[in-house]
Structure 1
Amino acid sequence: MLWNNELSISLAFILGLVFNYFSHTYFTFQEKANVGNLVKYLILFLLNYINTIVLMYLLIELLHIDIIVAKVITLPIIAVTTFVISKVWVYK
């Protein structure tokens, strides 16, 4: 059973990543997809993942904030920084 959960989570994660890349590329920033902005998008995605882990750790473990509240705090921070970095670097 665990393999099915891991497989479905991984598939949803990958499909979400692909959907978000093309949505941001074509609709948000009205650019053409190319290898350059794909690589930058993947780097930004990895940095966002690391930043989310660090922020969640700081909020939960060091400040003892509830996990749900920590996620509510973290989500807009990551969303805003993602948009700004996408605008000035990924789709420059």
Structure 2
Amino acid sequence: MGCARWARRAAPARDIYLTYNWKWNVDEEICGICQQGFDQMCPKCVHPIECKPCVGECKHTFHVHCLDQWLLKRNICPMCRVNWVIFRKFE
């Protein structure tokens, strides 16, 4: 009498989807070339983790792909126009 009455029903099966949130540790919020945030991606990328930021000695930060296209034409920072030298490139 007591066992059947107090037996618990199994919880219904549910799908569990993992999500994640990440953020690059950079001072600026958006790429000065494509105007997309660093938590997003440049127009060339398929996934945000592929779109890494690159910081110059002048401390301006850009998506690597955006900067690569810019540097093909001129070797200066797109923001302050000083010679571009990499200070930090995220891997």
Larger RCO: Structure 1 or Structure 2 (Cα < 8 Å, ≥ 6 residues apart)? 1
Q: Is the structural similarity TM-score above 0.5? A: no
Q: Which has the higher helix share?
A: 1
Query: In terms of Rg, which structure is larger?
Result: 2
Please indicate the TM-score interval, normalised by the length of the shorter structure. Answer: under 0.3
Q: Which has the higher strand share?
A: 2
TM-score computed with the length of structure 2 as normaliser:
0.26
